[in-house]
Structure 1
Amino acid sequence: MASHRRAVPPFVHLAAHPLRWRLLTELSGGDYRVRELVTRVNEPQNLVSYHLRLLRDGGLVTTSRSSHDRRDSYYHLDLARSAEMIAGAGTTLHPALGLELAPRGFDLPSAPAVLFVCTGNSARSVIAESLLRRRTGGRVEVFSAGTHPMPQTHADTVRVLRDEYDIDIADRIPRPLDLLAGHRFDIVITLCDKAREVCPDFGDGPRQVHWSIPDPAAPNTPGADAYPAFQATAAEIDTRIRYLLPTLTTLETACPAG
């Protein structure tokens, strides 16, 4: 008896093309602009843009307008959506393969050093630092700093970490990036498009990663409640951190600063 014909699962259809797979691979390491992806895959911009549009239409890739240059956009691989689509592809092949995919646990032989950077160190980078420290139980040496730190941590940052994640940072003061100039890091993650452009070189070794995340403290409609933006930002950062954890095992940890 002939087998029932099944449509090719969306993930297989999208990822099977060699260039699209290369773009997905590049975006798995961080967010990039089109011209950066053109350089990384060494293909014409019109071809790269075409395949990025297909990945975006398919739900694997999202875009956000750059806060540094509003004419530019950053592309981001939606890892949670990718995991969902991969699981769906497995189910199409055989029901037993439809397992729920999630970031696996990790075992660190030594404590890597991670730095999160944004402009004011009052929202995004503080949230990332706090959530990574919580999720790793202190097994990661984690810092955050700002290129132009604000006088104090944003009240909604304190609120969202306290109310949604039971983390108390009420006494935390934003840290200037200059204070960490002599420290060695294994990975430096910028969460702000502006900070990415001015983040200093930390020397040989650190893996440079960019997460293009809008500032939840950006000016809102007068009288509007900004807290939902902080909730959405914290949720996005938490998702990214969960998928960051397994990659920390691949880092060659730096020697302590002398």
Structure 2
Amino acid sequence: MRLAAHPLRWRLMTELSAGDHRVRELAARVGEPQNLVSYHLRLLRDGGLVTSSRSSLDGRDTYYHLDLDRCGHGLHDTGVALHPALARPHDDRPFAPDRRIEVLFVCTGNSARSPIAAALLDRHALAGVSATSAGTRPKDELHPGAVRALRRGFGIDVSGQRPRGVDTLADRHFDVVVTLCDRAREVCPPFPGQQRTIHWSVRDPAAGPTGTGDDPFDGAAAEIDTRVRHLLPVLTTTGRTEGPP
């Protein structure tokens, strides 16, 4: 709570709550010098509230990501420390929007990250949310590692799906477009009626082991599942208020 209470750090956390960003983007959004933003990002990272990863497009760039689960646990624990009546039961009710929401997930090959995200959003959301995935340079087929990870971790079978290109969806309406790789972010076209653009800088599991010994596709699926769960309440505001770009 002490770490997040600083006005500039809270503004940075608010910007990162909508998606992953680079330092220069955050500096422009909060209107502060880049070196000052970098200093406070380092404090947030040292405190475990923010993580960072090198861009897969330009290794000199770094994307920052807010750990919403850790923020949520910290805020909950602070409330309980103040008074036990502030403890709230976990709300695990399924998400149901008040109107149909169209969500598009985009990565480069549409063979792993974006189809994983679309499948997991379909799994968590009720009727009224339509998830689609596409690639800026689609592969010929889904990566077998992505198929295994979804089947093994979530009981989802996507073996019958085939990658598609974003160009095949040019006339489709999407309320929210989520890019999952840094390359796709730079070239993903706008879509009719699009109200939100969100970026998740997720490492390509097909790039190989991460050094932890875990299956990179299992790790990517787990990370995307967390991000999808955090996306669900954001979708309730889509169409009512303009979200950050």
Alignment TM-score, normalising by the size of structure 1: 0.87
Q: 2: distance between equivalents of 1:30 and 1:195?
A: 15
Calculate the aligned-residue CA RMSD, in Å: 2.1
Deviation at 1:158, TM superposition (A): 0.8
Q: Which residue of 2 aligns with 1:57?
A: 46
Q: Which residue of 2 aligns with 1:130?
A: 119
Give the aligned partner of residue 85 of structure 2. Answer: 96
The whole-number CA distance in structure 2 between the counterparts of 1:74 and 1:228 is 23
Match for 2:161: what amino acid? Answer: R
**Aligned partners of 1:216 and 1:226 also within 8 Å:** no
Distance of aligned partners of 1:165 and 1:208 in 2 relative to their CA distance in 1, 3 Å threshold: same
Asked if residue 34 in structure 1 is aligned to residue 42 in structure 2, the reply is no
Q: How many residues align?
A: 240
Match of 1:6 in 2: none
Task: Name structure 1 gaps, 5 residues minimum.
Answer: 1-11, 254-258
Residues 162-206 of structure 1: per-residue CA shift (max 9 Å, x gap) = 111111111111011100011111000000000001111224533
Q: 8 Å contact 1:89–1:98 — kept in the other structure?
A: no
Identity of aligned residues (%): 57
Aligned to 2:206: 217
Task: Describe the SS at the equivalent of 2:236.
Answer: helix
Q: Tell me, yes or no, if the aligned pair for 1:103 and 1:243 is still in contact at 8 Å.
A: no
Matched, 1:109 2:98: yes
Q: Which residue of 1 aligns with 2:196?
A: 207
Q: Aligned residue for 1:72?
A: 61
Contact 2:172 2:192 in 1 (8 A): no
Q: Describe the shift of the 1:176–1:182 C-alpha distance in structure 2 as closer, same or farther (beyond 3 A).
A: same
Residues 1:142 and 2:131 aligned together: yes
- Measured in 2, the distance between the counterparts of 1:165 and 1:82 equals 25
Q: Deviations over 1:47-87 (max 9, x none)?
A: 10111111111111110110000111100010001111111
The structure with more radius of gyration: 1
Tell me how far apart the structure 2 counterparts of residues 87 and 241 of structure 1 sit (CA, whole Å).
Answer: 21
Q: Which moved more, 1:227-236 or 1:189-198?
A: 227-236
Partners of 1:67 and 1:192 within 8 A in 2: yes
Matches within 5 A, 1:185-204: 185-204=174-193
- Aligned partners of 1:24 and 1:225: how far apart in 2? 28
Is this contact kept in 2: 1:34–1:45, CA < 8 A?
yes
8 Å Cα contact 1:186/1:206 also seen in 2: yes
- Counterpart of 2:154 in structure 1 is 165
Cα deviation for residue 137 of structure 1 reads 3.4
* Matched residue, 1:180: 169
2:225 is aligned to: 238
One-letter amino acid of the counterpart of residue 136, structure 1: A
SS of equivalent to 2:56: coil
CA distance in 2, matches of 1:246, 1:46: 33
> What's the offset of the Cα at 1:123?
0.3
Residue 109 of structure 1, CA deviation? 1.4
Q: Is the 8 A contact 2:95 2:232 kept in 1?
A: yes
Cα pair distance change 1:76/1:184, threshold 3 Å? same
Give the deviation of 1:226 after TM superposition.
8.8
